[in-house]
Amino acid sequence: MNVLKNSFRLLISLLIAALMVQWIVPYPHAKTVQAPATCGHGCIRYDIVVIGSEIQGVLLAREAMKHGLDVIILDPREKPGGELIEGQMQFLDEPNDKSQKSLVQGDIKELFDGFKKGTIRKAPEFNAYYDSKIEDIKVKSGIEIESVKTMKVNGEQSLQSLTYLADGKRHQVQADYWVENTDFNALTSKLDAKRIPGMESLYKQTEHEPDYMAATLMLRFKKVDWRKLHQTILEDYPLSNVQKKYGPNTYVDWSIATGLSNMMMKYKPQDPQMVLRGMNTLDQGHGEVIMNALLIYDVDPADAKSVQDALHKAKAEAPYVLEFMRKNIPGFAKAELNGFPDYLYIRDYNRFETEYVLNYEDVKESHMFWDNVSIGGYSVDLQATRHIPKGIGFGKTDKYGMPLRSFELKSYENVLVAGKNVGADVKAYGTARIMPNTALAAQTIGIILGHEMKTKRLKDLNEDDFRRIHAYLKKDYGISLDK
């Protein structure tokens, strides 16, 4: 009898243990494990930690938060906003397919629609859009990452915790997922990740120093006669004659002016770190314009002194640019400078290998992926470096897919990259890098996290899962990613 009782008790214990294992491990089919539910005294745990406040990561965080996840943005900058707000990169590039149909989707479409209608042109209007997206998200600005803690699980690294300094104090956080969303690799530079070759790979075949596309100080002017600029160019139509006279890609309408490189590149900079390229200028109304044209070489966005030195030099160059434009560009005879952004527009810095590195053949051949999180489309546009002073282009693309795997850091099961950190070779990066392409990807990833992470890890999602995901993205969010 005692033997039977003991056997029965043993059977009951085994059943209870099995049930407890099922309850404790929330992802029974996953290949990796979550961080523990609590991270100890003085540590705060979140579902998602986003490092940096670029608009792409904000859209990801917003969607995840809307789906009930606990999210925080830890921003190394003193103020949130990134390139869109602090850098005032407000001359917006729009992706189109071969028939010139816009490919902009998701919440970033609100910004682009306002831009085209003229209701979002000046800094306060851009600020209002950005504020509406970051509203209610927890944000801590001015942080400095001190250290990270990882552990290896089933052959892949898992980022477990991060320690940062803020307000003179040390803080620790844990998360299920981490998102690199800065323009200088604040998080990924501290991980064991391999850099994707950059601009240097276009002109050298041996080992060499990294090279990056130039940064920009956006220049603001007032008292510009846009009507005169527009009329002057119209008088030289047809367009073939305009481009012969003023340079390739010259175009002026009631809102934007591009090109005029035959005139603009005659400018001789005072500082050899600068170059003036084609106009890329937006009419903001009432004589105010903003111009994306003053390029600055050799800026290291990970070095605060490098950024501040470049800002100082570019601001000192601006009066000379103004004088040149007064004398040479129609409509600028009475122009004045109209203040400066607080930061630079950083196009290009270190990017690290992702699970799939988007390549030039993918974008050229309009490759679609089973795990698409965005549909991109834009000219392959690589801006100037010291070694390629006029930049280089590789033609216009049709639409192409951007897979989730290009936003999953290789060998880390829970680290994502957002925005200009997208995993792409240098040619593919020339088109993939623009804001609406990566903004849609980030928002889509936020939605997927909200729907899926309670039952499955992102790296375990398969083709069947994505057929289901693409269906609800189209039905519930109006985001079409299958073709």
pLDDT for residue 64 is more than 50 = yes
Domain boundary among 277, 303, 337: 337
Same domain, 253 and 170: no
Query: Are residues 318 and 362 located together in one domain of the fold?
Result: no
Inside any domain, residue 184: yes
DSSP structure class, residue 316:
H
CA 385, 390, 392 angle in degrees (round to 5)?
A: 85
Question: Same structural domain for residues 366 and 416?
Answer: yes
H/E stretch holding 291: strand 288-296
Mean pLDDT: which of 35-44, 150-159, 206-215, 375-384 is highest?
375-384
Chain position carrying tokens 């690290």: 352
In a domain, 4, yes or no: no
Q: Identify the domain boundary among 337, 371, 398.
A: 337
Domain assignment present for residue 453? The answer is yes
Statement to judge: residues 374 and 286 lie in one domain:
no
Tell me if 156 is assigned to some domain. yes
- Give tens-digit pLDDT for 448-466: 999 999 999 999 999 999 9
pLDDT digits (tens, 9 = 90+) for 215-234: 999 999 999 999 999 999 99
Instruction: Please state the rounded mean pLDDT for residues 197-206.
Output: 84
CA dihedral 355, 359, 363, 366 (to 10 degrees): -60
* One domain, residues 69 and 137: yes
pLDDT of res. 307: 97
Query: Do 325 and 391 belong together in one domain?
Result: no
pLDDT at res. 145:
98
Q: Work out the average pLDDT over 229-250.
A: 93
Q: Are 346 and 183 in contact (CB under 8 A)?
A: yes
Compute the CA torsion angle 234, 240, 243, 248 (nearest 10 deg): 140
Quote the domain boundaries for residue 92.
Answer: 34-200+350-483
In 3D, which of 128, 180, 217, 213 has the Cα closest to residue 419?
Answer: 180
In a domain, 104, yes or no: yes
Q: Does residue 440 share a domain with residue 417? A: yes
Name the burial class of residue 351, with classes exposed (0-12), middle (13-18) and buried (19+) by CB atoms within 10 angstroms of its CB.
buried
For 81, residues 6+ apart whose C-beta sits below 8 A from its C-beta are: 53, 87, 127, 130
pLDDT (mean) for 58-74? 98
Residue 209's pLDDT band, with cuts at 50, 70 and 90, is confident
How many domains does the chain contain in total? 2
pLDDT(20) > 50: no
3-state SS, residue 224:
coil
Residue spans of beta strands (DSSP E) within 383-459: 392-393, 400-403, 415-417
The distance from CA 39 to its chain's CA centroid, rounded to whole angstroms, is 30
Bridge-based pairing state of the strands 169-180 and 415-417: parallel
Answer with the one of 337, 371, 394 that is the final residue of a domain: 337
What's the Cα-to-Cα distance from 63 to each of 67, 107, 363, 460, rounded to whole Å?
6, 10, 27, 21
The single-letter DSSP state of residue 32 is: S
Over residues 283-303, the mean pLDDT reads 97
Q: Give per-residue pLDDT as tens, 308-342.
A: 999 999 999 999 999 999 999 999 999 999 999 99
Whether residue 174 is found in the same domain as residue 236: no
Task: Check whether 163 has a pLDDT greater than 60.
Answer: yes
Q: What pLDDT sits at residue 206?
A: 58
Q: What is the largest CA-CA distance in the chain?
A: 107
354 and 239, same structural domain?
no
Of residues 153 and 214, more confidence is placed in 214
The whole-angstrom separation of Cα 306 and Cα 309 is 5
* Same-domain status, 42 and 190: yes
pLDDT digits (tens, 9 = 90+) for 349-404: 999 999 999 999 999 999 999 999 999 999 999 999 998 988 999 999 999 999 99
Give me the CATH number covering residue 372.
Answer: 3.50.50.60
- Sorted by sequence, the CB contacts under 8 Å of residue 289 that are 6+ apart come out as 220, 221, 222, 224, 226, 281, 282, 283
138 and 225 co-located in one domain: no
Domain assignment present for 474 = yes
50-79 average pLDDT score: 98
Check pLDDT > 90 for residue 30: no
Looking at the domain assignment, is residue 246 inside a domain?
yes
Residue 5 lies in a domain: no
Assess whether 355 and 466 both reside in one domain.
Answer: yes
Burial 189-207 (b: 16+ CB within 10 A, else e): bebebeebebbbebeeeee
**What proportion of the chain, given as a percentage, has pLDDT over 90?**
86
Alpha helices in 76-146 (DSSP H): 82-85, 108-117, 123-134
- Contact present, 220 and 337 (Cβ < 8 Å): yes
Strand ranges in 167-247 using DSSP code E only, listed in sequence order: 169-180, 215-222
Query: What is the identity of the amino acid at 121?
Result: R
Which pLDDT score, from 0 to 100, does residue 205 have? 61
Asked if pLDDT for residue 151 goes beyond 60, the answer is yes
In angstroms and rounded to an integer, the radius of gyration of the C-alpha atoms of the chain is 25
